[in-house]
Chains A and B, each alone.
Chain A
Amino acid sequence: MRYMLIIHNDETHPLPGAPGWDELMADYAEFSKELASRGHPFTGDPLQGPDMATTVRVRGGETLTVDGPFAETKEWMSGYYLIECDDLDQALSAAAMVPSARFGSVEVRPIAEM
């Protein structure tokens, strides 16, 4: 099965250049190696901050474009992994290894296969 690991963070998460950032990046490199060694095919990327977001809606055939995310929240999606696992337990175990899980949270969602 395929699962998406959706990483949510708040302002307690280290930023580039801040203390803790280099260690975190090293942990992410380690995490990728571990996923590969467990034989899970995966992809994943970090996202730029919600202040870089643009939101689009189409209403009555008209496209409305606004600056910013859909809603103001204390937590935002900061990255994702898409991984293949045998079952939920493997996905949960991978989620627990995501380095940012120490700061925010990781939501595990099965892909709705069409």
Chain B
Amino acid sequence: MDETLASVYRADRGRVLARLIGVLRDFDLAEDAIQDAMVAAASTWPVRGVPENPAGWLVTTARRKAIDRLRSAAADERRHRRWGELSITWDTGDGSEPIVDDRLRLIFTCCHPALTLEAQVALTLRSLGGLSTEEVARAFLISETALAQRIVRAKRKIRQAGIAYRVPPPAELPDRLAAVLAVIYLIFNAGYLSASGPDLVNVDLCDEALRLVGVVVDLLPDEPEPMALAAMMHFQDSRREARVDGDGVPTTLEEQDRSRWDAAKVATGVMFLYRAQQTGRTGPYLLKASISAVHVGAPRSDLTDWASIVDLYDLLLHWEPTAVVRLNRAVAVVMADSPAAGLTLVDDPGLAEELAGYHLYQVTRADLLRRSGRLDEAAAAYRRARGQTNNAAEQRFIDRRLKALAAADHQIG
């Protein structure tokens, strides 16, 4: 019985919570009411059997429990009024109700741009992912107390500043959806990067992010961008095993053993990308996923269709005219054409200035210089990059490159 309850909780907590927040308009009350309903379920289900619609039963029971809580705290008139409203809309029925899926409203509220990005991430993982504050804090290496305070503040702002619990209207949807997807991708990358360090994290943020994007895909099936992000994350995730070598040093796409890529994840990614393309619309994630797909489609790195990648970056520049996209395009030009052509693009003064503090800019330059045979300049660029990163694994990667350069230099000399 406990197992039934636990599996209902795992599978439906997000939907039950989203619905309750929709009804109660109060994150904390909804969370407390779910706890009350779980306690009630633990004592009644073993006696009366599991209800036919367990999630609906939990919503109805939690709603009753919320009314009890409001009633006992109904000292002030405002609460009394809310309690009255709740009683009117409360449909008793057979003890369960068809559950309206409010998760989309919940995720748009959690990822509202009026909240800090940190709060957006924490609220999303807590309410839709069902993670505890402690788990989120540990995954992001921040103190639990500090995170708890930020969550309290964010919930208060949602309530008091009048952040609406709704899916944005069509005119606002593209921007707001981009914000939701950015939060999900941030969660994914936090998981992806942390797993290469000492592995103390017991929550798999990559899996959480994949689940969250799946929810958005299911609830917005006509939007290409969530499907494209799902594709991109599956492609990236397929390289989880191959992205570091035996010593834990990051490997480049070029160096990776492609037989270690997870074929099932690649296939899922291709399926999502295909569905996104079927919408006939495009967007930044669709272009990025398409770039990933070109890499994934190459059996060996020297068989990569770099010309297509350059074309895709050209399209991406219309959406994201950023220095990082220009840098990545330059790399693709190098691979499609020649290191010299790429160096001209990378040494563009505007780009150099904008990316001055970005270690991957120097790493990229160093790689192009190395490929052009300008070994001394390459070593200088690697040394600059080394001073710009604190990540131990990346430093080891750079050290290894410097050592290889020194050896090559010695051979030539």
Contacts and interface: CB of A to CB of B under 8 A. Distances in A.
B120 to A, nearest CB: 15
A87 B164 contact: yes
A92 B157 CA distance: 14
B170 to A, nearest CB: 13
Contacts of A89: 163-164, 168, 172
Contacts of A85: 162
- Main DSSP-derived SS at the A contact region: mixed
Instruction: Identify which of A3, A89, A91 gathers the most chain B CB atoms within 10 Å of its CB.
Output: A89
B164 A110 contact: no
B391 interface: no
Contact of A1 (B112, B162, B172): B162
A29 B172 CA distance: 25
Contacts of B114: 88, 92
Nearest to B171: A93
Given A88-B114, A92-B114, A110 B172 contact: no
B160 interface: yes
Nearest to B172: A89
Interface in A1-38: 1, 3
B161 A88 contact: yes
B338 to A, nearest CB: 45
A113 to B, nearest CB: 10
A83 to B, nearest CB: 12
Interface residues of A, number: 10
Contacts of B161: 88, 110
Nearest to A3: B162
A86 interface: yes
Interface in A90-108: 91-92
A96 B112 CA distance: 16
Contacts of B160: 110
Nearest to B168: A89
A51 to B, nearest CB: 33
Contacts of B172: 89
Contacts of A88: 112, 114, 161-164
Interface string B127-164: 00000000000000000000000000000000011111
A29 B134 CA distance: 52
Contacts of A110: 160-162
A1 B112 CA distance: 18
Interface in A50-70: none
A95 B168 CA distance: 17
Contacts of B112: 88
A101 to B, nearest CB: 15
Interface in B320-349: none
Nearest to A112: B160
Contacts of A86: 162, 164
A86 B161 CA distance: 11
Interface in B244-283: none
Contacts of B162: 1, 3, 85-88, 91, 110
A36 B163 CA distance: 22
A3 B164 CA distance: 14
A78 to B, nearest CB: 23
Nearest to B165: A87
Nearest to B113: A92
A3 B161 CA distance: 9
A3 B163 CA distance: 12
B13 to A, nearest CB: 26
A112 to B, nearest CB: 8
B119 to A, nearest CB: 15
A88 to B, nearest CB: 5
B78 to A, nearest CB: 10
B315 to A, nearest CB: 28
23 contacts: A1-B162, A3-B162, A85-B162, A86-B162, A86-B164, A87-B162, A87-B163, A87-B164, A88-B112, A88-B114, A88-B161, A88-B162, A88-B163, A88-B164, A89-B163, A89-B164, A89-B168, A89-B172, A91-B162, A92-B114, A110-B160, A110-B161, A110-B162
Given A86-B162, A91-B162, A110-B162, 6 more contacts: A1-B162, A87-B163, A88-B114, A88-B163, A88-B164, A89-B164
Closest 7 CB pairs of A and B: A87-B164, A1-B162, A88-B162, A87-B162, A110-B161, A88-B163, A88-B161
